[in-house]
């Protein structure tokens, strides 16, 4: 009998390929492994019993991956003719542990019990440390943490401060590591898709909303949105196992430098790498930042182009869409935003630009007043409703006068008085936060209208600000209003995509940019746009060019 296993697996890391080969090594089966774009195929031939034993073993050894979208197995008549896949000698990636390593370091009778330097051809811990049990050291670190100390440790990807999440938590900026998925589910609003992604072999960070109980437990935690992850290397995994015995299932991990901390530097000269953060919708996910475990080197060049074009092109290349007509939405927080259309025939054109210019809040009010009679009335009413606030904000002058969508939201936040921030980029955060905290399903309809200037189409920013002001006057509460600002924007994008499809017969949509890290926006856009279009996000690259090459330089 011949069995065909297929994996819709959007990763070039070779992790699955290597684990499959390693598992095949335990069996005397004829096999062939093939790749067809995003599909990985494995054909194995043998007796029914052998194949059953193999399938069972493989299911235990193959971890879930964030890049895995579907699997299937079926009986076929013949082995295919195509040439088998040859694994090139790519450098090993700094992956979290594979299931086999995990089982061995946890097995008291195994020679690799608590060995953080366990060597493995798949997940690759061969950093040259002494191969032995590190149980004693890890127990001691756990004890220190249990007694309330913050401890500096070397992981395999950099130096971090870790400690208990309590009133004495000494870190200001931190993420949370959890012993297990159940604890994350208990303290956050993580969806099933997010929980599944957190448990995947990549062990990504996901920004989650923490629930009330969590905040009561740890008074110092004032932020509602915190990044969570599972232990993503053996040092952290084994440490969390020891902490669990002391009743501690969550710790903070931070890059903050704190004086008088204890140091445990079991791993020498750790390679510094940023862990990946992802955003998860129902059927899509995207990498927000980081590079740990990602083989993106070959695509790096494209990012050297103007960031938004580079990001668009790299997704076209990643998904091999060069022959298609593709609409690209670029939604960066830092860069210019626009909708581009690419086709082999006419190259690339900018279909719609989200570029606005304002000098000051006064300028915004003046432009609304000048636009028409109802605009004039609106500003008048707005002023009268809260003259003190109106006078306070009208003097705000903007340092950088070019705006994108994110900064437009910042203006809305300032005008509505949702923040004391004066910089639109910083002010926009409150719109995102409020929208995330909103528990309903529908916000008010904020107007996003296109406007033609000469031969180009722009978004009219004044309409968005005007409708937000009207709803504020109508006393719509802030959370609902902020939800509406983001929701209506996604609905606007979705309608523009439908227009493009009608006019230009586009067959794919690519979405890039750091604004996608907003879970609400990401999952709604993925869902709305998927209804009429084939939607693609980046596979193995962060959604913005910034994280790789630009070191945080703002372009606008």
Q: Which residues bind Zn ion (CB under 5 A)?
A: 98, 101, 120, 122-123
Bridge partners (DSSP) of residue 33 are 42
| Between 98 and 435, CB nearer to Zn ion | 98
Cβ-contact 498, 532 below 8 angstroms:
yes
Rounded to a whole number of angstroms, the minimum distance from the CB of residue 7 to Zn ion is: 19
Query: Strand order of the sheet with strand 347-353?
Result: 449-453, 456-460, 347-353, 338-343, 326-330, 508-512, 535-536
CB burial of residue 399 (10 Å; 0-12, 13-18, 19+): exposed
Rounded to a whole number of angstroms, the minimum distance from the CB of residue 294 to Zn ion is: 18
- Determine the residue with CB nearest Zn ion: 120
| Between 92 and 527, CB nearer to Zn ion | 92
Rounded to a whole number of angstroms, the minimum distance from the CB of residue 61 to Zn ion is: 10
Rounded to a whole number of angstroms, the minimum distance from the CB of residue 199 to Zn ion is: 16
| Between 123 and 361, CB nearer to Zn ion | 123
Residue in 349, 355, 351, 348 with CA at minimum distance from that of residue 332: 355
Bridge partners (DSSP) of residue 414 are none
Rounded to a whole number of angstroms, the minimum distance from the CB of residue 100 to Zn ion is: 5
3-state secondary structure of 235: helix
| Between 103 and 479, CB nearer to Zn ion | 103
Report the DSSP pairing between strands 449-453 and 456-460.
Answer: antiparallel
Rounded to a whole number of angstroms, the minimum distance from the CB of residue 105 to Zn ion is: 10
Rounded to a whole number of angstroms, the minimum distance from the CB of residue 124 to Zn ion is: 7
Rounded to a whole number of angstroms, the minimum distance from the CB of residue 98 to Zn ion is: 3
H, E, C per residue of 35-96: EECCEEEEEEECCHHHHHHHHHHHHHHCCCCCCEEEEEEEEECCCCCCCCCCCCCCCCCCCC
At how many degrees (to 10) do helices 373-385 and 387-394 cross?
110
Report the DSSP pairing between strands 68-76 and 508-512.
Answer: unpaired
Rounded to a whole number of angstroms, the minimum distance from the CB of residue 197 to Zn ion is: 20
- Which residue shows structure tokens 């195929």? 41
3-state secondary structure of 459: strand
Bridge partners (DSSP) of residue 251 are 164, 177
3-state secondary structure of 132: coil
Chain length of the chain:
556
Rounded to a whole number of angstroms, the minimum distance from the CB of residue 175 to Zn ion is: 24
Instruction: Indicate the helix (H) or strand (E) that contains 450.
Output: strand 449-453
Rounded to a whole number of angstroms, the minimum distance from the CB of residue 125 to Zn ion is: 7
- Which residue shows structure tokens 């719609």? 352
Residue 225 to residue 211: CA distance in whole angstroms: 10
3-state secondary structure of 205: strand
| Between 122 and 412, CB nearer to Zn ion | 122
Cβ-contact 534, 502 below 8 angstroms:
no
Rounded to a whole number of angstroms, the minimum distance from the CB of residue 122 to Zn ion is: 5
Residue 217 to residue 227: CA distance in whole angstroms: 17
**Distances in whole angstroms, Cα of residue 407 to Cα of each of 334, 338, 468, 504:** 9, 14, 15, 30
Chain centroid to CA 303: how far? 18
The tokens describing 429, both together, are 């955060």
User: Please, what's the b/e burial string for 342-364 (b: 16 or more CB within 10 A of its CB; e: otherwise)?
Assistant: bbeeeeeebbbbbbbebeebebb
Rounded to a whole number of angstroms, the minimum distance from the CB of residue 63 to Zn ion is: 10
The tokens describing 367, both together, are 């432009």
- Which residue shows structure tokens 């070191």? 551
| Between 42 and 101, CB nearer to Zn ion | 101
C-alpha gyration radius of the chain: 26
Rounded to a whole number of angstroms, the minimum distance from the CB of residue 131 to Zn ion is: 14
């Amino acid at each position: 009998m011949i069995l065909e296993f297929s994996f819709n697996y959007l990763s070039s890391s070779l992790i699955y390929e290597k684990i499959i080969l390693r598992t095949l090594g335990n069996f005397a089966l004829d096999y062939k492994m093939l790749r067809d774009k995003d599909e990985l195929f494995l054909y194995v031939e043998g007796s029914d019993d052998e194949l059953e034993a193999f399938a069972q073993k493989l299911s235990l050894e193959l971890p879930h991956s964030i890049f895995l979208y579907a699997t299937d197995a079926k009986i076929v008549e013949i082995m295919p003719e195509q040439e088998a896949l040859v694994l090139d000698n790519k450098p090993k990636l700094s992956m979290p542990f594979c299931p086999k390593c995990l089982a061995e370091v946890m097995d008291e009778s195994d020679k690799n019990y608590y060995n953080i330097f366990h060597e493995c051809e798949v997940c690759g811990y061969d950093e040259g440390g002494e191969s032995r049990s590190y149980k004693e050291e890890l127990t001691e670190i756990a004890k220190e943490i249990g007694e309330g100390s913050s401890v500096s440790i070397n992981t395999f990807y950099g130096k971090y401060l870790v400690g208990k999440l309590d009133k004495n938590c000494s870190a200001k900026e931190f993420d949370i590591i959890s012993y297990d998925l159940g604890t994350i589910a208990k303290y956050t609003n993580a969806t099933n898709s997010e929980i599944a992604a957190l448990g995947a072999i990549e062990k990504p960070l996901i920004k989650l909303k923490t629930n009330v109980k969590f905040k009561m437990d740890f008074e110092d935690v004032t932020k509602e949105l915190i990044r969570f992850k599972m232990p993503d290397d053996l040092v952290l995994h084994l440490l969390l196992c020891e902490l669990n015995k002391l009743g501690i299932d969550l710790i903070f991990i931070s890059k903050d430098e704190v004086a008088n901390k204890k140091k445990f530097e079991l791993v020498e000269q750790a390679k510094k790498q940023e862990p990946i953060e992802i955003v998860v919708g129902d059927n899509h996910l995207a990498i927000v930042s980081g590079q740990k475990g990602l083989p993106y080197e070959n695509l790096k060049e494209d990012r050297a182009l103007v960031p938004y074009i580079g990001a668009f092109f790299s997704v076209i290349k990643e998904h091999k869409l060069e022959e298609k007509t593709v609409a690209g939405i670029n939604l960066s927080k830092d860069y210019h935003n626009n909708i581009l259309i690419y086709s082999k025939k006419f190259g690339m054109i900018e279909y719609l630009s989200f570029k606005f210019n304002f000098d000051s809040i006064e300028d915004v009010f003046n432009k609304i007043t000048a636009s028409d009679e109802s605009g004039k009335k609106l500003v008048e009413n707005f002023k009268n409703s809260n003259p003190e606030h109106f006078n306070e904000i009208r003097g705000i002058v903007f340092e950088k006068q070019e705006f994108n969508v994110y900064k437009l939201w910042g203006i809305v936040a300032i005008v509505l008085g949702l923040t004391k921030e004066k910089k639109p980029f910083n002010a926009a955060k409150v719109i995102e936060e409020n929208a995330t905290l909103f528990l309903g399903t529908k916000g008010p309809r904020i107007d996003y209208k296109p406007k033609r200037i000469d031969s180009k189409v722009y978004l009219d920013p004044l309409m968005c600000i005007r409708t937000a002001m009207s709803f504020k006057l109508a006393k719509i509460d802030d959370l609902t209003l902020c939800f509406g600002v983001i929701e209506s924007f996604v609905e606007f994008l979705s309608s523009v995509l439908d227009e493009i499809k009608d006019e230009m017969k586009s067959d794919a949509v690519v979405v890039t940019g750091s604004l996608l890290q907003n879970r609400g926006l990401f999952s709604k856009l993925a869902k709305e746009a998927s209804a009429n279009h084939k939607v693609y996000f980046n596979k193995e690259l962060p959604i913005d060019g910034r994280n790789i090459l630009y070191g945080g330089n703002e372009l606008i």
